[in-house]
Amino acid sequence: MNEMTSITTTLKDWETDQEVRWCPGCGDYAILKAVQRTMPQIGADPAKTVFVSGIGCSSRFPYYMETYGFHTIHGRAPAVATGVKLANPELDVWIITGDGDGLSIGGNHMMHLLRRNLDCQIMLFNNEIYGLTKGQYSPTSREGTTTPSTPFGSVDHPAEPCSFALGSGARFIARGYDVSKDLPEVLKAAHRHKGAAFIEIFQNCIVYNKDVFADFTEKKNAATGQLWLTDGEPMLFDKGTKGLKLNEQSLKLEVVDVIDGDWQAAGVRVHDVTNRMMAQMLVEMPFGPFPKALGVLYDDPRETFESAVVEQIEQASKGKTPDLQRLVSKGQTWTVTDPGPDL
C-alpha cells in the first residue's frame, strides 16, 4: 500500500446506515466485522479508501463500509479497481470477490491484475459454491459435490485460489477464515505489502455448503488441522508436537513428530515468506495428511503497476507544455464552415 497519513478512527466510523443483509449465520458477517475493526488499527482514512466488488453474496460489501465504493458487474472488479488506482494512485483500494466471481467469469481479469502487480488488497471469499444463485457448484467445489447443476456429483477438478494467484505472478499470498481471531493480522500484513496482496478467506455458506471447512475451522479440529505461519518461525502445529520437514531427496514436505519441543532435531522448516517454491508447496498440501496452511504464505514485493505508469507519464511529459489544441489539431484535420443542411 502507498504511504498514507494515519488518522484516528473507530469501528463506528467504518459502519454505514445500511442494514447488513446476508443469511443468518453467514461467514460474511464475521469478515465484515474483522475488516471494520482492522481499518482503525492501520490508520486508514475513509475519505481515501475504496471498496470495489463484483457480483455475488460477498459483493454487497461496499454498501456496508463507510468509504467510497463500486458494486460493479460480474468478474470485472479487478478492471474497475485498476482504473480507480491509475486515476488516483493515492487511494487505498480493496477488491472484494468470491470463488465464482473471481475465478470463473472474472478469472482473466484477476490474472492480469496480479501479474501487473497493482497496489491493492484482494479479498477472495471462498465458500466453494455459488451462494447468490442458489447453490450451483463453483470453480473451487470439490470433486463429488452435489448441487442443482451437478446432481450426480461434480467431476471437475477444483481450482486452488492461492496456486492460481502464484501462477499469475502474485507477490503476496495469504489465507485466513471467516471467524478466525487472527484474520485481522492477515489483513494488516496484506495492507503493509506494496503491490497486489491476494487473501483467500475460507467462508462458511450456512445455506448451500454448510460446514465444508469444519474439519479445520472448528475449535476441536484447530490444533491438528491448522498450520499458522509466521515469518522466521518454525512450521509447527498440534500445540508444537508436530511440524513440517522438507525431504531433501524427494523435495516433498513431510509431517514429523517433535519430541520435547526440539523442533531443530526433528528437522522442522523455518518459514521464509520470500521463498516462492515453498509457498507453492504449502498451498498444494493435501488436507488430511497435512494441516491447512494459514497466515502469510508468500510476501516478496516488486515495483507496482501504477508507479511504473506514473513514472512513464512523467518521463514522457518532461520539458513539454500541455497544449490540448495542438494535440487535437495533429494529423489530418478539417474545418467545417457551412452550417450544414436544414433538418
Does residue 37 lie within any of the structural domains? yes
CB 133 within 8 A of CB 105: no
Residue 4 pLDDT grade (very low, low, confident, very high; cuts 50, 70, 90): low
Does residue 67 lie within any of the structural domains? yes
pLDDT digits (tens, 9 = 90+) for 74-92: 999 999 999 999 999 999 9
In the numeric block, the cell 467504518 is attached to 14
Does residue 184 lie within any of the structural domains? yes
In terms of Cβ atoms closer than 10 Å to its own Cβ (0-12, 13-18, 19+), residue 74 is middle
Does residue 140 lie within any of the structural domains? yes
For 69, the domain range is: 11-212
Q: Has residue 1 got a pLDDT over 70? A: no
To the nearest 10°, the Cα dihedral for 290, 138, 178, 243?
A: 10
Cα 297 vs. chain centroid, distance in angstroms? 13
Does residue 181 lie within any of the structural domains? yes
**What is the average per-residue pLDDT within 60-68?**
97
Does residue 326 lie within any of the structural domains? no
pLDDT digits (tens, 9 = 90+) for 190-226: 999 999 999 999 999 999 999 999 999 999 999 999 9
Considering its fold, how many domains does the chain have in total?
1
Residue 85: give its domain's CATH number: 3.40.50.970
Q: Has residue 6 got a pLDDT over 80? A: no
What DSSP assignment string belongs to 245-279?
EEETTTTEEEEEE-STT-TTTTTBPBP-TT-HHHH
Residue 3 pLDDT grade (very low, low, confident, very high; cuts 50, 70, 90): low
Label residues 239-261 b or e (16+ Cβ within 10 Å = b). Answer: eeebbbbbeeeeeebebbebeee
Amino acid symbol at 336: V
Does residue 313 lie within any of the structural domains? no
Supply the pLDDT for residue 332.
81
Does residue 81 lie within any of the structural domains? yes
CA dihedral (292, 296, 299, 305) positive or negative:
positive
